[in-house]
Amino acid sequence: MIVQPVQLDAETATGNSLIALDIVSAGPGDLVLVNKEGSSARLLLDDENIPVQAVIVGVIDGMDIPTANK
């Protein structure tokens, strides 16, 4: 799946898109958590020889981000 990093507002794109292997059945438009570290991705898949750098490891249902009181 092609994924796009976003800011904490979950909408503003930041950085470059990347290809991530989807192991959680995320759908188009889902906000996802991506493990973008090659050796950890290979450990998740239990295969040290697989050419994977990024893996979708979760679908984010919502976020609670504290704001500073002004």
CA 41 from centroid of its chain's CA atoms: 12
pLDDT of 70 strictly over 70: no
Q: Are 32 and 58 in contact (CB under 8 A)?
A: yes
Confidence of residue 22 (pLDDT cuts 50, 70, 90): very high
Q: pTM of the prediction? A: 0.80
Largest Cα–Cα distance in the chain?
51
Query: What is the per-residue pLDDT for 39?
Result: 84
C-alpha span between 48 and 23 (Å, rounded): 17
Q: Could you tell me which CATH number the domain at 2-59 has?
A: 2.40.50.220
pLDDT of 7 strictly over 70: yes
C-alpha span between 62 and 65 (Å, rounded): 10
The overall average pLDDT reported for the chain is: 89
